[in-house]
């Protein structure tokens, strides 16, 4: 697999793909008595972000995250106070990088690939979560969905990256540990690389785009790409 046959620009999802969201579990364990509610909250957050886009509505991802926490608390008859909301925001802004992230990104960068990010999260003041996690410097550009006014996997979000980089969608490969994200990217004309981190798996349904690359972690993905140049 050579540069001329596969995109040389890799677009990385951020939350869970690069940053470890499991560090939010203590908050959910304290509020609900079960850290696994984190997964329910995150799934509902993605569901309602996509609902907003399909309905022609846009609110910042962070605000949606707070509202989703309050909704989940109502469902489970738990109480969420101002301190809990402040802790959610603090934990979201200080998630550590997955251990495989920096070594893999170093290999991609040293091999000559261009690296950018695309996230549903709105841009914020410095230090950003990626800066705090020590990963920001690997990327030439950071994109979020604010300019598109739509959340991933709307095709406009991936198209925005191609437009800003002055390339075609086919020149991009999205790297994400969420299959809904790679499906959206592939439907928009990009390539897709799926990282099967814990809590994520393939959707075995005919007609669903199969990712161009599948790897259990970023280091293995780097092996697949760089080792076959």
Q: What digits encode the pLDDT tens for the residues 187-228?
A: 999 999 999 998 899 999 999 999 999 999 999 999 999 877
Q: Which of helix, strand or coil describes residue 133?
A: coil
9-20+95-226: CATH homologous superfamily? HAD superfamily/HAD-like (3.40.50.1000)
User: How far is it, in rounded angstroms, from Cα 229 to Cα 226?
Assistant: 5
Mean pLDDT of 111-131: 91
Is residue 60 pLDDT above 80, yes or no? yes
pLDDT at 3: 41
Q: Where in the chain is the domain with CATH 1.10.150.240?
A: 21-93
How many percent of the chain have pLDDT more than 70? 98
Residues 123 and 146: beta-carbon distance below 8 Å = yes
Residues 136 and 142: beta-carbon distance below 8 Å = yes
pLDDT at 148: 93
Is residue 137 pLDDT above 80, yes or no? yes
pLDDT at 229: 66
Is residue 69 pLDDT above 70, yes or no? yes
pLDDT at 2: 37
Is residue 43 pLDDT above 90, yes or no? yes
Residues 64 and 88: beta-carbon distance below 8 Å = no
Residue 13 tokens read as 């999802």
Q: Which of helix, strand or coil describes residue 226?
A: helix
Mean pLDDT of 58-66: 95
Find where tokens 């984190």 sit: 38
pLDDT at 6: 83
Residue 147 gets which letter from DSSP? T
Mean pLDDT of 90-96: 95
User: How far is it, in rounded angstroms, from Cα 87 to Cα 17?
Assistant: 22
Is residue 30 pLDDT above 70, yes or no? yes
Residues 146 and 167: beta-carbon distance below 8 Å = no
CB atoms within 10 A of CB 78: 17
Instruction: Write down the pTM of the prediction.
Output: 0.95
Element holding 143 (H helix, E strand): strand 141-144
User: How far is it, in rounded angstroms, from Cα 87 to Cα 31?
Assistant: 11
pLDDT tens digits, 158-181: 999 999 999 999 999 999 999 999
Is 21-93 a domain of CATH 2.40.37.10? no
How many percent of the chain have pLDDT more than 90? 90
Q: Where in the chain is the domain with CATH 3.40.50.1000?
A: 9-20+95-226
Nearest in space to 6 (alpha carbons), one of 215, 185, 213? 213
User: How far is it, in rounded angstroms, from Cα 186 to Cα 189?
Assistant: 5
Residues 99 and 133: beta-carbon distance below 8 Å = no
Is residue 1 pLDDT above 60, yes or no? no
């Amino acid at each position: 697999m050579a540069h001329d046959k596969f995109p040389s620009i890799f677009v990385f999802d951020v939350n869970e793909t690069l940053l470890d969201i499991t560090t939010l579990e203590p908050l959910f364990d304290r509020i609900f008595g079960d850290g696994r509610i984190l997964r329910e909250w995150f799934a509902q957050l993605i569901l309602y972000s996509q609902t907003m886009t399909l309905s022609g509505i846009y609110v910042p991802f962070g605000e949606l995250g707070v509202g989703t926490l309050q909704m989940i608390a109502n469902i489970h008859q738990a109480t969420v106070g101002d301190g809990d909301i402040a802790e959610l925001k603090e934990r979201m802004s200080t998630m550590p990088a997955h251990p495989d992230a920096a070594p893999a990104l170093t290999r991609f960068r040293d091999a000559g690939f261009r690296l950018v990010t695309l996230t549903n999260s709105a841009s914020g003041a410095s230090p950003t979560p990626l800066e705090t996690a020590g990963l920001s410097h690997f990327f030439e550009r950071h994109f979020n969905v604010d300019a598109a006014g739509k959340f991933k996997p709307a095709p406009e979000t991936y198209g925005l990256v191609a437009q800003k980089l002055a390339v075609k969608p086919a020149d991009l490969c999205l790297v994400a540990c969420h299959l809904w994200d790679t499906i959206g990217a592939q439907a928009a004309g990009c390539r897709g690389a799926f990282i099967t981190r814990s809590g994520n798996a393939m959707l075995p349904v005919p007609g669903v785009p199969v990712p161009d690359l599948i790897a259990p972690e970023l280091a293995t993905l780097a092996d697949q790409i760089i080792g076959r140049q």
